[in-house]
Chains A and B, each alone.
Chain A
Amino acid sequence: KAGVTQTPRYLIKTRGQQVTLSCSPISGHRSVSWYQQTPGQGLQFLFEYFSETQRNKGNFPGRFSGRQFSNSRSEMNVSTLELGDSALYLCASSLGSRDNEQFFGPGTRLTVL
């Protein structure tokens, strides 16, 4: 079956703009988690959505938000972009139980100029 897909793969924005990233999970998976990966901080958890509800949240400012649709597809939005938001944004899907394996997408590379 198809893996996790993320669009777009690459994005260039300027400071102050906003951006929306999209993630389509594996068919049947109801949980989608978002992560930010940078060389300095590594992979950091942003939030997790399950059945259209935010179930867990990491320690990121309110400029980072997300949502999940009834078909489990998820979007992540970052408003008022800062230079430090430049990163690889990864989404991962799973069946939703704590011990279920997460399957990661290839990520969206965001560059903020």
Chain B
Amino acid sequence: TQLLEQSPQFLSIQEGENLTVYCNSSSVFSSLQWYRQEPGEGPVLLVTVVTGGEVKKLKRLTFQFGDARKDSSLHITAAQPGDTGLYLCAGALGGGSYIPTFGRGTSLIVHP
């Protein structure tokens, strides 16, 4: 059982469309991160959210952390081909040790 469930698993859209990907859990996370991974590369951190209800914007990307800190969403406005990649969410449970948990990712393809 995956601690962090991401949906949808795959997304294929046209340039200019909007999209939202979700990251859900039954556990409470002290913080949650979103990464983008391109083929042949390691994941690159996009944002970290730590406060329930927090909303962060990064150009055309909007990230939201749920009030209960169990879920998060990533919304992309006017998607571009350069947004193509695997989007991963990762959460840190509370406590002294830090063992990050990753979702399986949403594979996004944006067609020109």
Residues of A within 8 A of B (CB): 4, 35, 41-45, 48, 55-58, 90, 92, 98-99, 101-107
Contact of A92 among B31, B42, B104 (CB under 8 A): B42
For residue A97, which residue of chain B has the nearest CB? B98
> In whole angstroms, what is the CA distance A105 to B40 when docked?
10
What would be 29 A-B contacts, judged by CB atoms less than 8 Å apart?
A: A35-B102, A41-B104, A42-B2, A42-B102, A42-B103, A42-B104, A42-B105, A43-B88, A43-B102, A43-B105, A45-B99, A45-B100, A45-B102, A48-B98, A55-B97, A56-B97, A56-B98, A57-B99, A58-B99, A98-B98, A99-B31, A101-B45, A103-B45, A104-B41, A104-B42, A104-B44, A106-B41, A106-B42, A107-B42
> In whole angstroms, what is the CA distance A103 to B33 when docked?
13
B43 sits at the interface (CB 8 A): yes
> In whole angstroms, what is the CA distance A4 to B43 when docked?
12
Minimum C-beta distance from B105 to chain A (A): 6
> In whole angstroms, what is the CA distance A44 to B42 when docked?
13
Minimum C-beta distance from A4 to chain B (A): 7
Given known pairs A104-B43, A106-B41, the reply for A44 and B102 (CB within 8 Å) is yes
What 8 A-B pairs are tightest by C-beta distance, nearest first?
A: A104-B42, A42-B104, A43-B102, A98-B98, A104-B43, A90-B42, A56-B97, A105-B42
B92 sits at the interface (CB 8 A): yes
Q: Which residues on B sit within 8 Å (CB–CB) of A56?
A: 97-99
Minimum C-beta distance from A49 to chain B (A): 13
> In whole angstroms, what is the CA distance A4 to B102 when docked?
20
> In whole angstroms, what is the CA distance A15 to B97 when docked?
34
For residue A43, which residue of chain B has the nearest CB? B102
Minimum C-beta distance from A30 to chain B (A): 14
> In whole angstroms, what is the CA distance A88 to B45 when docked?
18
Minimum C-beta distance from A14 to chain B (A): 24
Q: Which residues on A sit within 8 Å (CB–CB) of B31?
A: 99
> In whole angstroms, what is the CA distance A99 to B43 when docked?
17
